[in-house]
Chains A and B, each alone.
Chain A
Amino acid sequence: METIQGSEPRLPAPDKPYPVTVLGYPAEMIGPTATYAKVSEQVAGIPLKHPNPKFWFIGFTIAFSLFLMLCGAVSYLIYRGVGIWGINIPVAWGFAITNFVWWIGIGHAGTFISAILLLLHQKWRTTINRFTEAMTLFAVMCAGLFPLLHLGRPWVFFWLLPYPDTMSLWPQFRSPLVWDVFAVSTYFLVSLMFWYLGVMPDLATVRDKAKTKWKKIIYGMCCMGWRGSAVHWQRHQTAYLLLGGLATPLVLSVHSVVSFDFSVAQLPGWHSTLFPPYFVAGAIYSGFAMVLNLLIPIRRIYGLQNLITTRTLNNMACVTLATCWMVVYGYIMEAFTAWYSGDPFEKHMMWDRAFGAYGWVFWILMLLNCVIPQLLWSRRVRTHDIALFFVALSANIGMWIERFVIVVQSLHNDFVPSSWAMYIPTKWDWITLFGSIGLFLMLQFLFIRYVPMISISESRELIAQRKEGQL
């Protein structure tokens, strides 16, 4: 079969409902019947016509209830202080930092898909990048909440920022915690600009498809009066590519900076040069798992299988498996360096991790993060959306437990046995965790309700390329 460079041949498969590549992988990036008008109608139709309102209202109600619980928990936290959590000395970080690291890791998949895969010309990212970028924004919002709440006095959070204040004080720029402030806020702002730049032309499509005056006005304002001029597109595309190029080192730097919070400290289990790459791999791993968890139900409910094809799911599952092995390598090297260092504190930490008070958590982590994702070696699991959903769920929970083990287990058994203590989460810890999931899902529901969740203009590009035989 003749192919054009960068494309794969498409062969009919007798036993599968989709055409495949030579190696038997699903070949379609976009459904065979898609046209410009149909894609516009289908994607812009979701915010305009609001199909499946029952699903949306039930889902939104659950998410909103969880969000209200978060509001309650945060109010009580501000009233009483961080003592309502299970934190103590030595485990001062507890759930708050676990959740922070977990959420910010989830955000990484969005930028990975939209920036790194853009530069690598991975066209299958086209139909999922908008959704995952939005997921990044919401995950970073949830992440940013936790260090602020953990400050103890969240109302003076602006002391973290450099500004000439009346006390003549400045942030300590040599501290990784201050680097974090810059890394996370830069990450949020750059992701937001990247996302908005991408969504602007699609909001113009919604404006032009809208039937009522108010929808036209509101979407028209949101798209800034975009009219698709070629000169505008040229600047838009240049900026989009440049932002992709800028976001690429950024996404690798953000979780590295987060890992410095740990690895710059002297604590056994934290003080390791392995941390930055290990954290970044874990971040992309959990991020892809979260994308799968969100996209699989949504693609079914809104009937988007022709845009988010089996091939896309298969590719995401492959990235998940690859990053899973990077994480496994991280676990192995952690144990190895602890043993090889000959340092008694390091060796004790590793022994305690596997067989100490939190040992059972560690073995659940091994099961969820290392064993279950091996199912992804099977092509049948990768192309079966329900199986894939549960594997991704296992990876997501596994990654949360990993963050918990790193934060809590390392802290609870430090150098001096007299200072050892257990950390037991209180109900407020749990409410805040599930409340943040509610906040995340609530924003996600609002996004799919009001914003086109698939990049329409980029899908049109795919269709044009297929017409020219370049796909």
Chain B
Amino acid sequence: MIEEKSIGALAPEIPVEYEEPELFGLMAEFEEHDQLLAATRRAYAEGYRRMDAYSPFPVEGLAEALGHEHSAIPLFTLIGGMVGGLGGYFMEWYAMARLYPLNVGGRPHNSWPNFIPIVFELTVLIASVSAFLGVFILNKLPQPHHPVFNVPEFERASIDRFFLCIEADDPKFNVEQTRKFLGDLKAHKVMEVIE
């Protein structure tokens, strides 16, 4: 073994083992958003689940067509708003009535009407922060790289083209059949996505 290796170092023409590039999925390119929507619905009806659609603007009903009915953003926002409002009131009450009671014009320490503006502002602020962070947490952004960016044509996903990507780990995925299925969807082009 050792001898062989030393010979190998002297003879560079010995073939190097390449790793077979792993397939992330197959991607179809469309020219119009309604074609993408129709194709996504067909693919979902066909039984594909691990797939994603990409578009340069939000297409109504596309996430639903992928089987993604609800997003958790409203819940994030509601919880954030409640935390902001109740927390804000608690802060004001605790500071003004407990930690640092101050008589201002003979008003009670817990003078709630005067506390409302800040309660309102903090409700809006924390609710907005939760909605905003919710988008990044749930979308798992920032994500600098993703296999779909390996497809040169994908550049146009942010410009004027619409893409449907069926991922290889879908149980129904089969390179030949899926390629044929996508080709039948009037796709402009079908491409392989390398991991």
A interface residue numbers (CB < 8 A to B) = 35-37, 40, 162, 168-176, 178-179, 182-183, 186, 189-190, 193-194, 196-197, 201, 204-205, 207-209, 220-221, 224-239, 242-243, 246-247, 249-250, 253, 257, 260, 457-458, 460-461, 464, 467
Contact = CB atoms under 8 A, between A and B. Distances in A.
B120 interface: yes
A461 B115 contact: no
6 contacts: A224-B142, A230-B66, A232-B139, A232-B141, A242-B131, A247-B128
Contacts of A232: 139, 141
B56 A243 contact: no
Interface string B31-52: 0110000001000000000001
A211 B52 CA distance: 27
Interface string B133-148: 0111011011111101
Contacts of A236: 58, 135, 139
A176 B127 CA distance: 23
B118 A231 contact: no
A72 B136 CA distance: 40
A235 B73 contact: yes
A311 to B, nearest CB: 21
A138 B97 CA distance: 37
Contact of A231 (B56, B66, B131, B159): B66
Given A228-B55, A257-B117, 4 more contacts: A170-B96, A172-B102, A201-B57, A461-B57
A233 B135 CA distance: 9
Given A189-B125, A208-B155, A234-B68, A239 B134 contact: yes
B124 A228 contact: no
Contact of B144 (A189, A193, A225): A225
B33 to A, nearest CB: 6
Query: Could you tell me the dominant secondary structure of chain B's interface residues?
Result: helix
Given A36-B56, A226-B141, A230-B62, A239 B160 contact: no
B160 to A, nearest CB: 4
A162 to B, nearest CB: 6
B178 interface: no
A197 B132 contact: yes
Given A193-B132, A221-B144, A238 B73 contact: yes
A228 B117 contact: no
Contact of B56 (A170, A196, A205): A205
Contacts of B107: 174
B95 A170 contact: yes
Contact of A230 (B55, B100, B111, B114): B55
B174 interface: no
Given A197-B135, A225-B141, A246 B128 contact: yes
Contacts of B125: 182, 186, 189-190
Contact of B118 (A179, A237, A247, A460): A179
A40 B95 contact: no
Contact of B57 (A182, A225, A250, A458): A458
Interface string B60-75: 0011011010010110
Contacts of B143: 224-225
B91 interface: yes
B189 interface: no
Contact of B142 (A171, A201, A221, A228): A221
B124 A464 contact: no
A271 to B, nearest CB: 15
A169 B96 CA distance: 10
A278 B92 CA distance: 29
Contacts of B148: 227
A209 to B, nearest CB: 7
Nearest to B102: A172
A234 B128 contact: no
A280 to B, nearest CB: 14
A257 B124 CA distance: 14
Contact of B158 (A35, A205, A224): A205
A246 B76 CA distance: 14
Residue among B59, B95, B141 with the highest chain A CB neighbour number at 10 A: B141
Residue among B73, B77, B96, B155 with the highest chain A CB neighbour number at 10 A: B73
Given A173-B96, A231-B68, A239-B135, A35 B145 contact: no
A253 B157 contact: no
B135 to A, nearest CB: 5
A174 B104 contact: yes
Nearest 10 interchain pairs by C-beta: A36-B160, A234-B63, A224-B142, A170-B95, A174-B114, A230-B62, A233-B58, A460-B57, A230-B53, A193-B132
B124 A457 contact: no
Nearest to B51: A230
A193 B129 contact: yes
